[in-house]
Structure 1
Amino acid sequence: MPSHSTSPARAHGLQCGDLEPGPSNLITDVAGVTVGHHTLQEGDFRTGFTAILPHAGNLFLEKLPAGADVINGFGKSAGLVQVEELGTLETPILLTNTFGVGTGINALIRRELSINPDIDRSGGTVNPVVMECNDGYLSDINAMVLNEADAFAALQAASSDFEQGSVGAGTGISAFGFKGGIGSASRVIAFDRGEFTLGALVQANFGKPGDLTLPDGRKPRPSEGAQTLERGSVIIVLATDVPLESRQLKRIARRAAAGLGRLGAYYGNGSGDIALAFSTAQRIPHFTDGDFIARDVLREDGIDVLFKAAAETTQEAVLNAMIASPQMHGFKGRSRPSLADWLNAGKA
């Protein structure tokens, strides 16, 4: 696994906040979390799936507490209504393009039916969580080229080590007029029981050209292919091993917006900006013998450091997504420049 000192943003001297990163500076620093990609980059297509598996067990039978916050709701995600109502996550999370959401839903349902054949007979229905960004600038999104096998490939590829940048669901997306993508970061937090971790993974497809603000105050402006309006999306997934309940996780998810604001985003009318947070600390059984289950949660007055970590990891994950993404040419000859090229040119 790479050291956090070689993460894309830190390799360019860009540090977001002062909390210490985890050993890999990835969401998978939270033990048990894995990430996989399936990338389609050929012809007019720049798209794919990214899968986040919160733990390696049977997630439907051993759910995790979760909470979501809709920063701006111009999006077509699936599964968030039940997460909001019940406060649990019971499938892996798939990220894809806007027109791939239905395919992702079907893939997750088929996966859970293969593992839990009694779903909707004795176990109740399953709530697949799929979130999206529109990659139609660089990819022919109207072709609806992604299929269930592509989603399964991302799920099967999941591991603790994964690529950032123009991969999976980040293949064809843009940020602040530059090439966007998938990025990740983590922070280590100390409580009286020891050290814990919070990690973020983002699908960064948002921001108006010229609005990006780096941690050192510079404001990069792309030289080509820039949109004029804030029309995009960003999906933020936060994972932690701190014992929390769903209401607390929703509060932490809301603080991801602070990381977007540090970058210069203002959540424009046409942007779908959504954050989802889950905790791996305690699994919630689908079936129980008794009427009550015991839960262990953080005291409310200890939560501020997690708010800070959510903001820092979101900010850094977006920068990692952009810096790890090379310049890309795509559909109809369109292109997006690389933020790494701008940084390497030493621009002020």
Structure 2
Amino acid sequence: MTSSSPSSSRARLADLGVPSGAFARGAENAITDVVGVRVGHATVHGDGLHTGVTAIVPDALDAERRSLPANLAVGNGYGKLVGATQLQELGAIETPILLTSTLSVFRVADAFLGHLLATPAHRATTTLNPIVGETNDGFLSDIRRRAVGEEQVEQALASASAGAVAEGGVGAGAGTVALGYKGGIGTASRVLTLDGVQRTVGALVQTNFSGTLRIAGVALPAEELLAGSPAVPVGNSCMIVVATDAPVDGRQLGRVANRAVFAMRGVGADYAQGSGDYAVAFSVHDLADAGPVPDDALSPLFAATMDAVEEALINSVLAAETTVGPEGRTAHAVPLDLVRERLTAAGVR
């Protein structure tokens, strides 16, 4: 059963009273706080399946503007990121970014390409570089069925909207696990001043990696907080998408993407051997208008990116609900009452 998934009723990090740090959160505390960036999900639940597609759609890509400055950071290359080499070589994206399940990534890329070629902007196109990332949802979903394709791609793109973003076990995060708990999709944003101008940076993540959850430096081991056994991810990966309205070029966005991967350590990632950890960063700013800013001005953007990504990673776990997969395999939600107790005891909230 495919659905557009509603927002989780669980807490986000801001709801727990954890401060945002040096930079304020955006209005929605989401990647959609970057004006012109929309997010949509298609979620498949039932009959042994928990999987889906998540679409990050920058409206700045249109018939007049065929690419946006972008770049890629590879924390560990154990993954299937379609479109990676051209993105890195040219420092640009030509399409929205889709996230999905490992063995469905190729079906999604083909369906996505078909969708794009049918649009008026690409009626005469003979080369195009769709960006499709993945993590492995095989712990909670029958991944070999490759149950995601054209229907889910169309739904995720059609449902993409501004404003609040559904998090947790939705879209591409429906079947993922992280840090011993149910993981999924998370998002956050920060507002900063860059070279004298207010800018926004937002992050969206798809979490499926191992380690010990930490929030504001407080350890929250699944082995201690769960009555049941911790969930062990298959594939052990994380996809991070960073968007900004800052006037930065593709080379500088490679540096931003590096900081996004660094942020995983703040939440307790162990960067295991088989973990495919990737960050794609793009800017909606048109450098024909102004920019790029000098490298000496970038430090606030780097810091705000790490803060936004770290919070997005935590939100992906806080928002996720207990999910049962094939053969009774279960990923438990992090117990929010125990999280609150530990954070209060540590003086964080």
TM-score by length of 2: 0.89
**Shift, 1:227, TM fit:** 5.1
Match of 1:268 in 2: 272
Deviations 1:107-155 (A, max 9, x none): 22112211212111xxxx0001000000000000011111211111101
Matched, 1:131 2:126: no
How many equivalent residue pairs? Answer: 328
2:171 counterpart residue number: 168
Q: Which amino acid aligns with 2:294?
A: R
Alpha-carbon deviations, 1:35-72, whole Å to 9, x = none? 00000011200000000001155268421000100001
What does the per-residue CA deviation read over 1:176-221, in whole Å, with 9 as the maximum and x for residues that have no partner? Answer: 110001000000011355311000000011123xx22111523232
2:232 and 2:113 map into 1 onto residues whose CA distance is: 39
Q: Which of residues 326, 330, 334 is equivalent to 1:335?
A: 330
Contact in 1 for aligned 2:193/2:300 (Cα 8 Å): no
The answer to whether the 8 A contact 1:59-1:92 is kept is: no
| SS of alignment partner, residue 311 of structure 2 | helix
1:202 and 2:205 equivalent?
yes
The residue type equivalent to 1:221 in the other structure is A
1:118 alignment counterpart: 124
Query: Residues 228 and 129 (structure 1 numbering): CA distance in 2 closer, same or farther, change over 3 Å?
Result: closer
2:21 paired residue number:
17
2:145 equivalent to 1:143: yes
Q: Share of identical aligned residues, percent?
A: 39
Alignment of 1:170-319 (within 5 A): 170-208=173-211, 211-222=212-223, 223=226, 224-226=228-230, 231-282=235-286, 296-319=291-314
SS in 1 for 2:118: helix
> Where in structure 2 are the equivalents of 1:65-104 lying within 5 Å?
65-104=69-108
Task: Decide whether aligned partners of structure 1 residues 177 and 61 sit closer, same or farther in structure 2, where only a CA change above 3 A counts.
Answer: same
Question: Partner amino acid for 2:76?
Answer: N
Task: Supply the distance in 2 between the matched residues of 1:13 and 1:216 (Cα, whole angstroms).
Answer: 15
Partner SS state of residue 226, structure 1 = coil
Distance 2:117 2:324 in 1: 39
> What letter is aligned with 2:145?
A
Counterpart Cα distance in 2 of 1:276 and 1:59: 22
Indicate conservation of the 8 Å contact 1:204/1:318, yes or no. yes
5+ long unaligned stretches in structure 2 = 1-9
For the residues of structure 2 that align with 1:344 and 1:296, how far apart are their CA atoms?
A: 43
The answer to whether the 8 Å contact 1:59/1:91 transfers is: no
Displacement after TM superposition at 1:329 (Å): 1.0
Paired with 1:238 and 1:147, the residues of 2 have a C-alpha distance of: 25
Q: Under a length normalisation based on structure 1, what TM-score does the superposition of the two structures give?
A: 0.89
CA contact (8 A) 2:61 2:95 kept: no
Name the CA distance, whole Å, in 2 between partners of 1:340 and 1:250.
36
Task: Please name the residue that 1:286 is paired with.
Answer: none
- Quote how far apart the aligned CAs of 1:231 are: 4.8
Give a deviation string over 1:239-269, Cα, whole Å, max 9, x none.
0000111010000000012211111113110
State the alpha-carbon separation in 2 of the partners of residues 160 and 342 from structure 1. Answer: 31
1:195–1:61 distance in 2 versus 1, CA, 3 Å:
closer
Distance 1:133 1:230 in 2: 9
Matched with 2:7 is: none
Aligned position for 2:156: 154
Q: In structure 2, what is the Cα distance between the partners aligned to 1:270 and 1:143?
A: 22
Letter in 1 for 2:168: G
**Residue 230 of structure 1 contacts residue 269 of structure 1 at CA under 8 Å; is this kept in 2?**
no
User: Does the 8 Å contact 2:100/2:134 carry over to 1?
Assistant: yes
**Matches of 2:138 and 2:337 in 1, distance apart?**
24
